[in-house]
Amino acid sequence: MPEINMPRLSDTMQEGTIARWLKQPGDQVKKGDVLAEVETDKATMDIEAYDTGVLEQIIVKAGDTAPIGEVIAIIGSGAARPQVTAERPQAAVPSATAEEPRSPGSPSVENRAEAVREVPRNGGIKASPLARRMAEEHGIDLSQIAGTGPAGRIVRDDIEDYIERQRPAAVQPEKEALEEARAIETEVIPMSQMQKTIARRLTESKQTVPHFYVSNEIDMTAALEMRQKLNAASGEKGTKISVNDMIVKACALALEQFPEVNSSFREGQFVRHKQINIGIAVDVPQGLVVPVLRDVNVKGLRAIAREAKALIEKARNNRLTLNELQGGTFSVSNLGMMDVTDFIPVINPPESAILAVASVRKVFVPVDGQPVLRDIMKVTVSADHRIVYGAMVARFLQEVKHLLEDVYLLLG
């Protein structure tokens, strides 16, 4: 019978989690039918059937994870049959199929084992060796205990019951209260494939990439005024331009002037990218994804705004494709809408740099010797010191600032 294996759905994928099965055991399946949705390290993707037949078994249930290549389901050629969900293979564990009948007064298996080793001593007090050892460890006089084992023998349960009865009344409630408090305070939340990948890649980035940081402040007064005019002219149904769209466009034009920043470090060599593809960090329930806008330097602001809006919507609905998540050469992470004064981002390998954007704030700045209220935005570039250097990144950031302050250059 044809086996359905966990496929490799991305270049960094090592395992996948079944988000849900769209077909159930007994369902007819045609070649090309979507069988299940799989959560990978980057997005949720579909698994299609390569054979026609009946879904015989589901090996990996919804919510479970399997490595690449593991069998997750089996398609047979027979007629539809009642739903059967097979468990994943488990190691053989011996189990009893029936209990040995015993009379009401006969000892349990455990107590019988102890009774075999019982040796009468201490003036005829009968106790199992384990019970005697426990009594010695706790300083218990066996004559104070009534045995419940065969012929009145003292067994482990008798010792444990005696110890429990001797405890102060307040000890047990305090213990239970402490355990209850710990249970309330602690919750174990399994990580999704996306969260595992974010943790792994960002840890690798900070451990292997020599980060350095350059910051600047940009006067966004003119940019905000132009944005307002452009959005008003577009009408109610027109595409609205965001501040982030303008920042992305400014970065793309600056990267044309500084191609070193549009580079990567791979296997001891510099790789300079001819395309300018900018990733935009998007906050999603499971963490963070970075869909990619391609050839940003040759697109207008409204085209960038349309594409960015579509990618953000797909990201938040967990419908991004693998192609939309790959190929970035530079990234922008904008927390301006979160009332953030400043932050430092982590580079998204193999890119050489990422721009962090904080909130726009009203600040008095000197203009012709007089304090004037302006819209000021702080930005920070995190850069890979193997590829670029401080002065180069500073000049790149100055060019981004120049483009956003002389904002009509973005329309050229």
Length of the chain as a residue count: 412
Closest by Cα among 248, 402, 261, 265 to 336: 248
Measured CA to CA, the distance from residue 291 to residue 307 in angstroms comes to 10
Measured CA to CA, the distance from residue 144 to residue 166 in angstroms comes to 12
Class of domain 3-76: mainly beta
Cβ-Cβ contacts under 8 Å for 290 (sequence gap 6 or more): 279, 280, 281, 282, 325, 328, 331, 348
Q: What is the DSSP string of 134-146?
A: HHHHHT--GGG--
- List the structure tokens of 167: 């405890």
The CA-to-CA distance between both ends of the chain, in Å, stands at 61
**CATH 3.30.559.10 intervals, the chain:** 211-411
**CATH 2.40.50.100 intervals, the chain:** 3-76
Contact indicator for 266, 255 with CB cutoff of 8 Å: no
Backbone φ and ψ for 194, nearest 5 degrees, come out as -65, -45
Active site residues: 385
**Hey, CA dihedral for 197, 202, 205, 208, is it positive or negative?**
negative
CA 80 centroid distance within chain:
38
Per DSSP (E only), the strands in 198-329 are 211-219, 263-266, 269-272, 278-280, 282-284, 287-289, 292-293
- List the structure tokens of 364: 């008095």
3-class secondary structure, 83:
coil
Strands 71-76 and 53-58: antiparallel
Q: Any idea which fold 211-411 has?
A: Chloramphenicol Acetyltransferase (3.30.559)
Helix pair angle (390-405, 221-233), 10° resolution: 50
DSSP bridge pairs for 332: 280, 355
Contact indicator for 340, 356 with CB cutoff of 8 Å: no
pLDDT in tens, the chain (412 residues): 688 888 887 767 788 888 889 999 989 988 888 889 888 876 778 888 888 888 888 999 988 888 888 999 888 875 544 444 444 544 444 444 444 444 444 444 444 444 434 444 444 688 887 888 888 888 888 888 888 887 788 888 888 888 888 876 555 566 666 666 666 677 888 887 778 888 888 898 999 999 999 999 999 999 999 999 999 998 888 999 999 999 999 999 999 999 999 999 988 889 999 999 999 999 988 788 999 999 999 999 999 999 999 999 999 998 898 899 999 999 999 999 999 999 999 999 999 999 999 999 999 999 899 999 999 999 999 999 999 999 999 999 999 999 999 999 999 7
DSSP state of 108: P
3-class secondary structure, 16:
strand
Measured CA to CA, the distance from residue 341 to residue 94 in angstroms comes to 62
